[in-house]
Amino acid sequence: MDLEISVVQAQALLTGDNPPLLLDVREPAEYALACIEPSTLIPMGEIPARAFQELEEDAPILVLCHHGVRSVTVAAWLRQQGFERAQSIRGGIHAWSTTIDPTVRTYY
């Protein structure tokens, strides 16, 4: 299983019969500007404290941030902790907005 997937692959998974958890690791202010529903917001800095309480180790998890840098870091960390099905969405919500859903606001 690749550490990163494209937004097209992510969309296919999210609209499938058993969608993965969409984990947004941006900050609350960023999430307020633009988000993909349904998603779970846990800012990157809170992942170590909350992952084992709020995430299922054996469940598929797609990690999302603004451009894909934080999400790949979090996905790699989650895998090291035993969340083997964690994957980062390459390009983040910006790529989602420009490729999949232009109604999701872009920001800088």
**Of 65, 74, 86, 95, which residue is the catalytic one?**
65
Domain ranges (residues) in the chain: 4-99
Top-tier CATH class for 4-99: alpha beta
Residue pair 21/55 in contact (Cβ under 8 Å)? The answer is: yes
Report d(CA 70, CA 87) in Å as an integer: 12
> Using one digit for the tens of pLDDT, what is the confidence trace for 65-95?
999 999 999 999 999 999 999 999 999 999 9
What percent of the chain stands above pLDDT 70?
Answer: 100
Is-above-0.95 flag for pTM? yes
What gap in Å lies between CA 107 and CA 38, rounded to an integer?
Answer: 20
Residue 35 annotated in active site: no
The two most distant CA atoms of the chain are separated, in Å, by 35
